[in-house]
Amino acid sequence: MAAAERTADHYPSFRTQALIDGAFAPAASGRTFDAVNPATGKVLAQVAACDSADVDRAVKAARAAFEDRRWAGLRPVERKRILQRFAELIRAHRDELALTETLNMGKPIADARSIDVRAAADCFAYYGECCDKVYGEVAPTTADTLALVLREPLGVVGCVTPWNFPMIMAAWKVAPALAMGNSVVLKPAEESPLTALHLGELALEAGVPAGVFNVVPGLGVEAGKALGLHMDVDAIAFTGSTEVGRYFLRYSSDSNLKRVFLELGGKTAFVVAHDVADLDEVAQAVAAGIFFNQGEMCTAASRLLVDNRIRDALVDRVAALAPRWMPGDPQDPAARAGAVVSFEHQGRILAAIAEGVASGARLVTGGTAVRQESGGAFVAPTVFDGVSPASALAQKEIFGPVLSVIGFDGLEEAVSIANGTVYGLGAAVWSGDLAAAHQVARRFKAGIVYVNCFDADDITTPFGGVKQSGFGRDKSLHALDKYCDLKTVWTRL
């Protein structure tokens, strides 16, 4: 849609400037970019388009805050109190945060409230609680020496996040980084920068000192690249596509060899054996697995691998559930699905669907844009059957509500197809034989496996992938390891 056709929505004002050193400020260049509501096509706000000058200022502020120990030097219990106050403030601002998330990236308001805001707050509370519970070690050396193994914060951590769960993805990185005493520069996705800026404001209000948590909205090729290449950033925690993840490895090698943690794309296989107890229950799980959040999930159940003996029965059931996931107005509390994040992304999804049709796969349901009268970017829940495991439909991450069904004969073949992509993030197996299911679970090359369930989630469990889905884990106590270094201190006794 041409800029001239857009008009601003009438909603409460959003934070639109960068947060650097405790103050909101425009980009040094004065440039902005549009934050668009993908459900209407209208501009919500003009957001500071930060570039290398702003990123440099943010990194300098973060470095100064780290070196004078205004955060890392606090008593851990004090850092804990501040992070917990931050979590409480997120809960207290639940309605505004949820509405902003929905307006900025199109997800249903009910999900934004009950999932995104809650999980972000819970994440800050969880890692806040860790501040005074992480110990160093005394190594078992000889009696005339004392060898301490200290855990020290890294310094300045750059967090670069995607648009599908803007607040949660930010929280998964920022919370453990802050808990360990680091300073942070967060670069949210250009499609959905608004809640990150609001989080920055709430962090200040909670008592996170100026300069410790900075937010630099901007384009990936400008602000993201500048952060990746910065010589004074100690680590990058990235969630996004495999393609951009590769850039961050290059940025590191072209700059200061900063460590890089990558949570990347996926092509989850949802394997259904012939002996499942309840096909209706399986169908519900598959439909939710692929259509929830408009399919914009790194763990979306995008490949249904089903034993050929029950394939038709299951495909019929999943297709019958698709209308329940038809997108609605994201602000309608009854909507189960909303808009996809942008018109550009809608175009990518529709192109992948067209490629699927051309490949000879059978389009069972969906396949089109819907709600076009709204002016927004919506895609109907889509199911393809008879998909070849080697085809683009089965190999490429579409990141939309598009299910590819692949038949198999026996679990051996299922495992081979499931592992036959470059990705290794999520996988699921459903079977009436729990032992067989667990054997399959062990053979999946994936970081997260579901047995007779899907998308179970808890902050206490590690989340991340293998192969080209990246490395490093978000969530759980294990995530803390990414944000600290071990220092050995020897003393002669």
Give one word for 421, left, alpha or beta, with left for phi > 0 and alpha for psi -120 to 50: beta
Q: Which is nearer to ligand NAD, 111 or 263 (CB)?
A: 263
Question: Residue 127 in contact with residue 155, Cβ under 8 Å?
Answer: no
| CB neighbour list of residue 316: distance below 8 Å, 6 or more residues apart | none
List strand residue ranges (DSSP E) for 409-464, in order. 426-430, 448-451
Residue 244 touches ligand NAD, criterion: CB under 6 A: yes
Least CB distance to ligand NAD at residue 242 (A): 6
Binding ligand NAD (rule: CB under 6 A), the pick from 425, 428, 429, 484 is 425
Among 465, 434, 436, which residue's Cα sits nearest to residue 448? 465
- For residue 11, give the 3-state DSSP assignment: coil
Q: Which stretch binds ligand NAD (CB under 6 A): 154-162, 278-286, 302-310, 318-326?
A: 154-162
3-class secondary structure, 403:
strand
DSSP string, 157-196: EEEE--SSSHHHHHHHHHHHHHHTT-EEEEE--TTS-HHH
292 binds ligand NAD (CB under 6 A): no
Kindly state the smallest distance separating residue 230's Cβ from ligand NAD, in Å. Answer: 11
Show the binding pattern over residues 187-206: x = contacts ligand NAD (CB under 6 A), - = does not. x-xx----------------
123 is annotated as an active-site residue: no
In whole angstroms, how close is the CB of 116 to ligand NAD at the nearest point? 12
Question: Applying CB under 6 A, does 49 fall inside the site for ligand NAD?
Answer: no
Closest CA relative to residue 128, chosen from 70, 187, 155, 88: 88
Of the candidate residues 166, 228, 295, 389, the single one contacting ligand NAD (CB under 6 A): 228
In this chain, which of 164, 195, 346, 391 binds ligand NAD, going by CB under 6 A? 164
Strands (E), 284-420: 303-307, 362-365, 369-370, 378-379, 382-385, 402-408
Reduce the DSSP state of residue 148 to 3 states and report it.
strand
130 catalytically annotated? no
Binding status of residue 265 toward ligand NAD by CB under 6 A: yes
CB of 414 to ligand NAD, least distance (A): 23
| Cβ neighbours of residue 250 closer than 8 Å, sequence gap 6 or more | none
Per CB under 6 A, contacts with ligand NAD among 350-409 are 397, 399
Q: Minimal CA–CA distance to 458: which of 83, 126, 84?
A: 126
Please identify, among the stretches 88-96, 241-249, 347-355, 361-369, the one whose residues bind ligand NAD according to the rule CB under 6 A: 241-249
Q: Which stretch binds ligand NAD (CB under 6 A): 9-17, 21-29, 222-230, 412-420?
A: 222-230
Tell me which residues are annotated as active site: 263, 298
Residues in the site for ligand NAD, rule: CB under 6 A?
A: 160-164, 169, 187, 189-190, 220-221, 224-225, 228, 239-241, 244, 247, 263-266, 298, 397, 399, 425, 465, 469-470
